[in-house]
Structure 1
């Protein structure tokens, strides 16, 4: 299979974002079309990662959901995200073009800079978050092989973080085609590790007893906040669906592939996080938020190192192919004179800024809630903006263009309605998050932003109709 994904050579031909560079349609060569198992292997390789596991543990550890509540939350919110992914993937298949070109048609030739910048920063954020997990794995491997390394304490994780960043830069610089193939190999191995961890945990704690022991129901506010976190972790992927659906042989191929790889793959690995997160307290006496630290509790040194190496490789394939490559190429599209090396370095700096609170915390320089707080804060902020942008895209594509009878092809530099609404979404999200007094609003700003988009389009429509009436009068 030929991977025409964001971050590949094919996406570079669309840069910079100018109308003369945008292809109308790809060739119809059937040999380049993807089948459902191509999509299933691709999406499973992307979504089966350490952050997908941590989403499940968050529901139990941070929000106090029972196992049944957490699994139901993952299944329901995940299925909603799957339906949303079909809506965002359809334009790519119908027009045979990628997400950036579709955004150009919604926001205008220059207005597209805004959503592409948001997408780039989201990828940078995930790059930083996953690099923290990768750095943790490197640190624990070194501690297992060289016991004296443990004397570094938190500084060992910081060294591991920058080592992992450097490995990403080297791999991306020298090509990622082989790594993309390895990605589809590492994802099943992570599932195997999840199964083995459950078998290992079952020798220590009876999962049936654990399920019945968690009888205290979570508060309604906890359920809502957990739903926001889960939706945020799922919805961000839907912003990239057209990058892949454009190569589908038939519509059914990307639908089935996304269901198997995107929905079932992420649901299964999230379920492992729910079960093992709930059991970690009984097994080790502490809650383990991530799969890396839980693997470190395995008694056998050989099994522990092997498991950490597999997690490290799986994290590397995800960060290079889905985070570093996409964000670097998006940055090159925004700043046309920038070189590939400069783009990589700038993206790494942005990623480090996201990870900085955790790095300073591990160096004991600041007081912070740790990786679990950084993870949830990042999810709250970016998911709020992404939700609004997705709604803008869907309304523009499925509603406005059909009402106006247009061909979904912008000829303006800026589509002011969409750009103005996007700026309002970003401003409201960050103001609500930075306000200590009203910080709780940020949990719900993703839903509020959706309402803002609908209200904004309604007001724009009323203003337009009033102008037409006045002109006719």
Structure 2
């Protein structure tokens, strides 16, 4: 029986199968596979998505953290560029699955952890995203608080004024998040030119008023030997990789709407590493100029903003708020809200998942994480990189090496399907995750193996790829040769309007 249709490399369920699955406890309108018409995102949408998410304050200040650790400006930019090129690889590999089968991250995780086991990687991603949600909300709070304090002196004397702003801005983020990933298509188109133009204006202002770039770009590296540099470089590189390791996992949440593999791959390949590197350089150059202009290095753009007249503070605050909203909705709310929703698709809505994410973000104490760069790079980025690297490895190994990009899409939504494994858990995925996390952790306790922890994301990824591929050899969940062709109808593009089997609305299907 044909259960799915493949057209131009994109797989959708047949209308009959989609109707039959709509009553499943593992199905709802957010978690179902996308229809052919919903594959509408072009390359421009992915470019603006990434540019909008990269143009945020953590990206601006990332290089400053590396310089504070002893690097010069080009070593910091080189580390950032290399880290983003490396993390781009798993992003593109997992993007392929989302584009081809139109599934969100929690459903993709069912493939390699089982229908119940999928909660493990989904919630692991959710915890990290909630932390980032808190960080960006805290940054936006600082900007708004600066505006009010500069414009209204009485505001500075109001007890708990920062907490009030945090609560209000937190609420704004949660409300915007209700629209889900499709909102990013619009938000990205708005935020990208606004934040991009503002960054260029800031760079021009810094150069003009400082009469050049300032002393930071002339400051040499503090490392006198290659060994001393590498001791800082590798954990810093892991931190840079971990910055977007979250999106490397749940990128299917966005690529499930891609029009084609080519459009999403090209757009992401250029927009991510280039935007991160350029924006980090702007942060370094502007900060270098502040040494000349103000007599001290102002790495935090919120502190820099406070030096300007009120109307400039107002405009700058709006830009920071837009940037914080863009990255929070795109990178930090969609994934955890979907993970929470996946716990009980018939009772938990995406909106409720977004609210729970927001509450958990407060419990993560973002003000502590951002207290100093040691907490940020070594504590926050390094630790969760050690967790997410093995999960990335398992996802890549399962889709590319074990299943070779073939699956029975309908069985991801069947409680008794092949991807439920034993009692809903794929023990091989659990074992591979434990191995991928445990080996790098040894570096924390054995001095001679410290390099494992300093490169935890990379080692965890490759260890889990090897472990999972070995453990899954001959697994019954893998389609046998020729089985994919038996369940798949290969079609050409001939428009035929008929009611959408999933939504019940008049939709253009292609047969």
Q: Deviations over 1:405-439 (max 9, x none)?
A: 98696241211111123245566778977999x99
Q: Which deviates more from structure 2 when the two are superposed, residues 370-379 or residues 209-218? A: 209-218
Distance 1:400 1:344, change over 3 A: closer
What residue number does 1:95 align with? 101
TM-score (normalised: structure 2): 0.74
1:206 matched to 2:207? The reply is: no
Q: What does residue range 129-278 of structure 1 map to in structure 2 within 5 Å? A: 129-151=135-157, 155-172=160-177, 181-202=186-207, 203-204=209-210, 206-207=212-213, 210-217=216-223, 219-278=229-288
What residue number does 1:74 align with? 80
Q: What does residue range 438-449 of structure 1 map to in structure 2 within 5 Å? A: 442-449=453-460
Equivalent of 1:393 in 392, 395, 416? 395
1:306 matched to 2:321? The reply is: no
1:43 matched to 2:60? The reply is: no
Q: Deviations over 1:333-365 (max 9, x none)?
A: 11454466654443222101212553xxxxxxx
CA drift of 1:117 comes to: 0.6
Tell me, in whole angstroms, the C-alpha distance in 1 between the residues paired with 2:266 and 2:329: 26
CA drift of 1:112 comes to: 0.6
Unaligned ranges ≥5, structure 1: 1-12, 359-367, 465-473
CA drift of 1:164 comes to: 1.4
What residue number does 2:428 align with? 417
What residue number does 1:330 align with? 339
| SS of residue matched to 2:195 | helix
What residue number does 1:118 align with? 124
Tell me, in whole angstroms, the C-alpha distance in 2 between the residues paired with 1:208 and 1:135: 29
Aligned residue pairs, count: 438
Unaligned ranges ≥5, structure 2: 1-20, 410-417, 476-511
Q: What does residue range 311-460 of structure 1 map to in structure 2 within 5 Å? A: 311-336=320-345, 337-338=347-348, 342-355=352-365, 358=368, 370-376=371-377, 377-402=379-404, 410-412=419-421, 413-425=424-436, 442-454=453-465, 456-457=467-468, 460=471
CA drift of 1:451 comes to: 5.0
Tell me, in whole angstroms, the C-alpha distance in 1 between the residues paired with 2:195 and 2:66: 20
Distance 1:150 1:235, change over 3 A: same
Tell me, in whole angstroms, the C-alpha distance in 2 between the residues paired with 1:14 and 1:121: 29
Tell me, in whole angstroms, the C-alpha distance in 1 between the residues paired with 2:467 and 2:125: 22
Tell me, in whole angstroms, the C-alpha distance in 1 between the residues paired with 2:192 and 2:267: 15
Q: Deviations over 1:204-256 (max 9, x none)?
A: 26327542332544722111122111111132222122222233223221112
Tell me, in whole angstroms, the C-alpha distance in 2 between the residues paired with 1:354 and 1:15: 36
TM-score (normalised: structure 1): 0.79
Distance 1:212 1:93, change over 3 A: same
Distance 1:16 1:167, change over 3 A: farther
CA contact (8 A) 2:340 2:353 kept: yes
What residue number does 1:9 align with? none
What residue number does 2:26 align with? 18
CA contact (8 A) 1:107 1:415 kept: yes
CA contact (8 A) 2:155 2:161 kept: yes
RMSD between aligned alpha carbons? Answer: 3.8
What residue number does 2:489 align with? none
